[in-house]
Structure 1
Amino acid sequence: MTESTITQLQPMPDDWQRALAVVAHPDDLEYGCSAAIAAWTEAGREISYVLATRGEAGIDTVEPERCGPLREREQRASAAVVGVSAVEFLGHRDGVIEYGTALRRDIAAAIRRYRPELVITLNHRDTWGGVAWNTPDHVAVGRATLDAAGDAGNRWIFPELVEQGLEPWNGVRWVAVAGSTTPTHAVDAAPGLERGIRSLLEHRAYIEALTDEDPETYVRNFLTGIAREVGKRFGDKPAVAFELFPR
């Protein structure tokens, strides 16, 4: 396929002020999405993070009782690098998150608390491009987030949330899925790429357990490689891709 026949990605909408990112684990956002978040916060937009778990099952050599607090600290430090101060953990068990009404309720409650116009999540499909199996946690949280964007605006689905003081929020205009192999939109990664790299590097304990490569070399090569590849469909400039679902 020649360059002229490659389907180009559209620019992400920019007429919004608040976004909420909902993912399963610490580091999920940093693997390719945080450069966009850095650019958005630099432009004055408000981004908050909600994580279903604390990532306590993510490091084989560290037992969950120590791993959870460690990864929570790394996530808060990582978020601060890209200008995010609101980081919430829902307390679901890492590795065994179950898709269902309990998860939808927790995410809908978060959407009502933060009242975003844009919701961001991670690939909810079974595979990454049909060649690598996705994790059950990613699938469950991604799918529940797409559903909860609607649940948040309907007072009759989880009426107990109203009793808790969380009024319906029907202001979500889009759900953007990062890591999708069928993206539709993109954000220029250049303004936020260096902060995105530093943000992922804050997950040092996780990265050091993941690879024997020098952490900075690993992170820089990984993120710049993805940004360059996406950029082939976005004016040949480094970019972060999303699959955008309007509401």
Structure 2
Amino acid sequence: MEITAFPGDWSTALVLVAHPDDPEYGMAAAIARWTAEGKVVTYALATSGEAGIAGMSPEQAGPLREDEQRASAAVVGVGEVEFWGFTDSELFNTPELRAKIAETVVRVNPDIVLSLYGGPEWAPGRPNQRDHMEFAAAVVDAYDSLPDPPRALFVNGPGSTHAVDVDGFVETAVASLAEHREYLSVLDPSTPVVDQARAQVEMTTGPIDGFPAAHAAGFTRLRPTD
């Protein structure tokens, strides 16, 4: 299947995700390219990822993960990062979450919105997280509720319709994910953080069938649907 090159005729994007590190696992290389081209990208996160570090209390983990996310965003040229304070591991597609998403989209007023893949599996045997699925559904519902929505809504994940050539930006994405040092070091104490980051980034920035680039980040356009 032929993949379409991601459109370039936009200036501002809003990235909506559930947790710290969500942008880094698939979008960071593309975001690094876009900010290098002068585009402005804003991050908004529903939670602070406070339940994500084993053996650490939410009161300790939340602020730490917020700091890691801000440092990670800075590596790829993102200066605006906001956290909404919803409870990690307890995200649901509620009226409150949809309202916050809609309010943020209207306030930031981006040309495009980028968010999370909401399908049940990333690949056979690789289930998606419930937080991700609930949040992704809330983003679509909130986007559809807007009387004047942004130009397009894309999600990062399998089944790509569009792709970005990220040649030259893979190492920047690795450095960005590696800023989540405490999270990754607890997740896999036996593997150096930078090696974990490189393995994850390389898995999501390889070649994509039908798109002429050695390194690419894939996105699926959900809106408009034509």
Give the TM interval when normalised to the shorter protein: over 0.9
1: CA distance, partners of 2:102 / 2:184: 31
| TM-aligned CA deviation for residue 175 of structure 1 | 0.9
Kindly indicate whether the alpha-carbon contact (under 8 Å) linking 1:17 and 1:117 is maintained by their aligned counterparts in 2: yes
Match of 1:193 in 2: 170
One-letter amino acid matched to 2:187: L
1:204 aligns with 2:212: no
2: CA distance, partners of 1:102 / 1:225: 34
2: CA distance, partners of 1:147 / 1:80: 30
Larger radius of gyration: 1
2: CA distance, partners of 1:82 / 1:8: 28
| Percent identical | 39
1:91 to 85, 88, 103: 85
Q: What do the CA deviations read for 1:174-222 (whole angstroms, capped 9, x no partner)? A: 111112x211110011132221111100001111111121111221132
2: CA distance, partners of 1:45 / 1:19: 8
One-letter amino acid matched to 2:112: L
1:144 to 138, 141, 147: 138
One-letter amino acid matched to 1:237: A
One-letter amino acid matched to 2:173: G
One-letter amino acid matched to 2:203: G
Match of 2:96 in 1: 102
TM-score by length of 2: 0.94
One-letter amino acid matched to 1:182: G
Q: What do the CA deviations read for 1:133-173 (whole angstroms, capped 9, x no partner)? A: 2111101111111221222x33xxxxxxxxxxxxxxx2411
One-letter amino acid matched to 1:10: T
TM-score by length of 1: 0.86
Q: What do the CA deviations read for 1:69-116 (whole angstroms, capped 9, x no partner)? A: 000000000001111111011110000011121111000000011001
| TM-aligned CA deviation for residue 223 of structure 1 | 1.2
Q: What SS class does the counterpart of residue 217 from structure 1 fall into? A: helix
One-letter amino acid matched to 2:144: G
Kindly indicate whether the alpha-carbon contact (under 8 Å) linking 1:37 and 1:192 is maintained by their aligned counterparts in 2: no
2: CA distance, partners of 1:58 / 1:79: 18
In the alignment of these two chains, the number of paired residues is: 223
| TM-aligned CA deviation for residue 245 of structure 1 | 2.0
- Which stretches in structure 2 are left out of the alignment for 5+ residues? none
1:126 aligns with 2:104: no
Of 183-192 and 90-99, deviating more is 183-192
2: CA distance, partners of 1:226 / 1:43: 21
Q: What SS class does the counterpart of residue 169 from structure 2 fall into? A: helix
With over 3 angstroms needed to count, the CA separation of the structure-2 counterparts of 1:225 and 1:129, relative to structure 1, is closer
2:152 to 153, 170, 174: 174
| TM-aligned CA deviation for residue 124 of structure 1 | 0.9
1:220 aligns with 2:194: no
2: CA distance, partners of 1:107 / 1:26: 17
